[in-house]
Structure 1
Amino acid sequence: MKLDNDIHNYYEHLVIEHLTELGIDKTKSADYVSDLSCIVLNQLPPRYIRFQVDMAFYMPQHDRIEMEMKVKEAIERAINYLDSKDLRKQHETT
């Protein structure tokens, strides 16, 4: 049995959208962005959907705002974690 290819976690879309808004994909390496995305998504509850339009039309506005806030907070925590980890690594090699 195989799951439908359309099934995905809605938070993935929100995370990518916010990372793009922050310009992270332009200022950091692909490895950093991948690590960051994994750390962020692991902080958020899964919200699986088949079609993007399902969330756009059927989710109340306050739920969307709450989800966006959770994404922003998770990204901030993940950036702080990765940057502090990189800083520690730099101090260990010098």
Structure 2
Amino acid sequence: MQISVDVHNYMETLVGQVLEQDEYRDQFSLEQLADLACLALNQTRPVYIRHDIDFLAALSESRLLKLKQSAETAVIAAKSLVLNDRRSAREEEVPTVFNHSGYDEESELEWFEKPILPKS
């Protein structure tokens, strides 16, 4: 069994259906649509299934409607984040800041820097 092949999150399908609407396809680039999908999916509760047809056959219409509304609400919330993307306002060249000007060979190692195995 391969989980990535045999199991998937049904919310991905529902979020994808929302993002296929002309409102989103016309307004956003492919990169922004991918960002929207990620942001929206992080806001929804995952619904892992194996086969769509079996899942939908056992799902009540009211529960499906709630899942669709959840996907749409998550995309709307993600839309404001993508439209107000702080990354678009920053400069291309981000300055690099170093905390230490050099490494002191004589300084004692921190607890997380000490070797686990003794030197042989």
TM over 0.5: yes
Which aligned segments of 4 or more residues in structure 1 are displaced greater than 3 angstroms? none
Structure 2 partner of 1:57: 57
- Matched residues in 1 for 2:4 and 2:78: separation? 30
- Matched residues in 2 for 1:60 and 1:81: separation? 32
Secondary structure of the corresponding residue to residue 45 of structure 1: coil
After TM superposition, give the deviation of residue 25 of structure 1 in Å.
2.9
Q: What are the superposed Cα offsets for residues 17-66 of structure 1, whole Å, 9 maximum, x if unpaired? A: 11112442343211111111000000001101111102221101110011
Letter in 2 for 1:51: H
Question: Which protein shows a greater Rg?
Answer: 2
TM-score, with structure 1 as normaliser: 0.82
Give 1:38-77 correspondences, 5 Å limit: 38-77=38-77
Residue ranges of structure 1 left out of the alignment (5+ in a row): none
- Matched residues in 1 for 2:4 and 2:12: separation? 17
Letter in 2 for 1:80: S
Structure 2 partner of 1:33: 33
TM-score, with structure 2 as normaliser: 0.66
Higher helix share: 1
